Chains A and B, each alone.
Chain A
Amino acid sequence: MANLADSFLADLEELSDDEAPVPDEDEAEVGDMEEDGDDDMDDLEALNYDELDSVSKLQKTQRYNDIMEKVEEALQKGSDISGQGMVLEDDPEYQLIVDCNGLSVDIENEIIIIHNFIRDKYRMKFPELESLVNHPIDYARLVKKIGNEMDLTLVDLEGLLPSAIIMVVSVTASTTSGKRLPDDVLNKTIDACDRALALDLAKKKVLDFVESRMGYIAPNLSVIVGSAVAAKLMGTAGGLSALAKMPACNVQLLGAKKKNLAGFSTATSQFRVGYLEQAEIFQSTPPSLRTRACRLLAAKSTLAARVDSIRGDPTGKTGRNLREEIRKKIEKWQEPPPAKQPKPLPVPDSEPKKKRGGRRLRKMKERYAVTDMRKLANRMLFGIPEESSLGDGLGEGYGMLGQAGSGRLRVSVAQSKLATYRATRAFKEKQYGSSGATSGLTSSLAFTPIQGIELTNPQSHGNLLGSGTQSTYFSEVGTFSKIKRT
């Protein structure tokens, strides 16, 4: 272990020479180095991953602070509908809202970064926790509550998480392979948690502000889905025009939770719904119609957002019309189907039976077709008495089977057209492959020519002609190249 650590140290010290002035790019390296173990990291002063400030800078930026200030004052001022005459873009409040949208996206990213940081630090203590609790804010709260405690029964987790998850967490904690964190690491982790929670709070404030102004910014959209959902949608999309540019299917999925924790049932998770799930219209539809309602809602709210983005209807009338339309459609889906009238029976024999055709039917009919053997047996030559099974004219007659005039007793098992076609194709493939020694039709049973029947291979004629080098015209063994069935 020591050698490993030393070798890693040596590697990293090389890197550190290049990187000392620019601590920002640490994050990329850090991503690869996670497996080394956090203890090693602590020793390295070159990598400032240790310090929260190096990874999370948003709270220090001027922009963030400005916007937060403005939001605070605006919230305290209460709703203040500025004069309608002003063009939207000039309105300082509108600008603030646009900024808020961008900021909320940034805050979200920041929270994810901090979550990674906390996770890496806390891994030493409780590695399984990250797979049990996915949500960054919940994770941060949990970490803060648990701290360095090894025995989870002493920690009260009520209210932080649903009880099912608390149970799983407690059980996993009792068998965890983690150890206590050193104090300074613990402090840093708690610090990061605080930071994350503060950011979350800030995001909530921003969203509240946007929500309160929603009726002014996007009246049509907020009429349909409600101002809270509208604010969230706008926040996630990154602005009203961004929301308007999205296709409706994307709007439907904005804010959809993706992961389901391992081991938990997926039966309860509702598919393909995002923030729209919280809309009042959606909540009031019966569960069986929810998917359709969600799609409808997404489509109409996208339309409303587009109207709003160009300020086409500041009164909100379009929104009200759309809402009415949605409501009517959902009601129509819910009405029972019209009562069935018993249909009178059709007149007998008035509808001709539908005859089917095609390859399948032909193949089926072939099984009952008259075979060549039977055809030959049915015919007789003139003047020549036929042979029969019991001899002397008793029993079944054999017709032309086995007559000298017909050529041979060897009745070729002529295959159906279909099988011939198949066999030809397969044969052609084989021709290029195998040495062509035997085909599948030669039987290993060797009857003498006088008695019994020999199966001949109808492809053998083709073979003779296939080898182009030798001409079969004068061949002694070759026969007609094409034998038509009579």
Chain B
Amino acid sequence: MSFLLNTLTTKREVDTAIRDTLDKVLVLRFGRASEPVCLQLDDILAKSSREISKFAVIALVDIDAEEVQVYAKYFDIVLIPSTVFFFNAHHMKMDSGTADHTKWVGSFQCKQDFIDVVEAIFRGAMKGKLIVSCPLPPEQIPRFQLLFKGL
């Protein structure tokens, strides 16, 4: 939502972003600009975008766009905002004590938390790991209950 961050709407754009970000963590936020939690997350992303610009790139993806539904289905995005991390076109997983390791659900409590998470992903990725553990203490991690849709 911020004017500093790119919003991606088409599949091609998302593809380009994932492919072309080399040696930097790509942070893709899936969400809607009208939602308050999304707004909060976007604010944090915008503030820290310059600080981590040397090792991370941030982009926003609007899940209301049609072309993006493919990705939403692929990543199994139910709750928003959800953040997915990539490094050199590899999908990075993070174990933060929640059930879902493939993405980060929800917002962060403060900017430093977000930077810590991105740094952990970067370090893990540089070492060649595909899954890293979360550096945040459990209190700072937003918990969500996964209710199955349509059952």
Contacts and interface: CB of A to CB of B under 8 A. Distances in A.
Interface of A: 342-349
Nearest to B24: A347
B123 A344 contact: no
22 contacts: A342-B50, A342-B51, A343-B51, A344-B50, A344-B52, A344-B53, A344-B54, A345-B51, A345-B52, A345-B54, A345-B55, A345-B115, A346-B54, A347-B55, A347-B122, A348-B55, A348-B119, A348-B122, A348-B123, A348-B126, A349-B123, A349-B126
Contacts of A344: 50-54
A457 to B, nearest CB: 54
Contacts of A345: 51-52, 54-55, 115
Specify the main secondary structure of chain B where it touches its partner: loop
A427 B119 CA distance: 56
Contacts of B126: 348-349
A311 to B, nearest CB: 61
A-B CB proximity, top 7 nearest: A347-B55, A344-B53, A344-B54, A345-B51, A347-B54, A348-B119, A344-B51
A276 to B, nearest CB: 48
Given A344-B51, A345-B52, 18 more contacts: A342-B50, A342-B51, A343-B51, A344-B50, A344-B52, A344-B53, A344-B54, A345-B51, A345-B54, A345-B55, A347-B55, A347-B122, A348-B55, A348-B119, A348-B122, A348-B123, A348-B126, A349-B126
Interface of B: 50-55, 115, 119, 122-123, 126
A346 B115 CA distance: 12
A347 B55 CA distance: 6
A98 to B, nearest CB: 68
A345 B51 CA distance: 5
Contacts of A347: 54-55, 122
Contacts of A342: 50-51
B112 to A, nearest CB: 11
Contacts of B53: 344
A234 B53 CA distance: 63
A343 B55 CA distance: 13
A348 B132 CA distance: 15
B4 to A, nearest CB: 13
A344 B53 CA distance: 6
Contacts of B122: 347-348
Contacts of A349: 123, 126
A344 B50 CA distance: 6
A342 B54 CA distance: 13
A348 B51 CA distance: 12
A214 B115 CA distance: 69
B46 to A, nearest CB: 12
A347 B52 CA distance: 8
Nearest to B122: A348
Contacts of A343: 51
A274 B92 CA distance: 71
Contacts of B51: 342-345
Nearest to A341: B50
A22 B53 CA distance: 92
Nearest to A347: B55
Nearest to A346: B54
A351 to B, nearest CB: 12
A345 B50 CA distance: 8
A143 B5 CA distance: 83
Contacts of A348: 55, 119, 122-123, 126
Contacts of B123: 348-349
B78 to A, nearest CB: 32
Contacts of A346: 54
Contacts of B50: 342, 344
Nearest to A345: B51
A342 B48 CA distance: 10
Contacts of B52: 344-345
A340 to B, nearest CB: 12
A345 B119 CA distance: 10
A144 B136 CA distance: 85
A431 to B, nearest CB: 59
A205 to B, nearest CB: 70
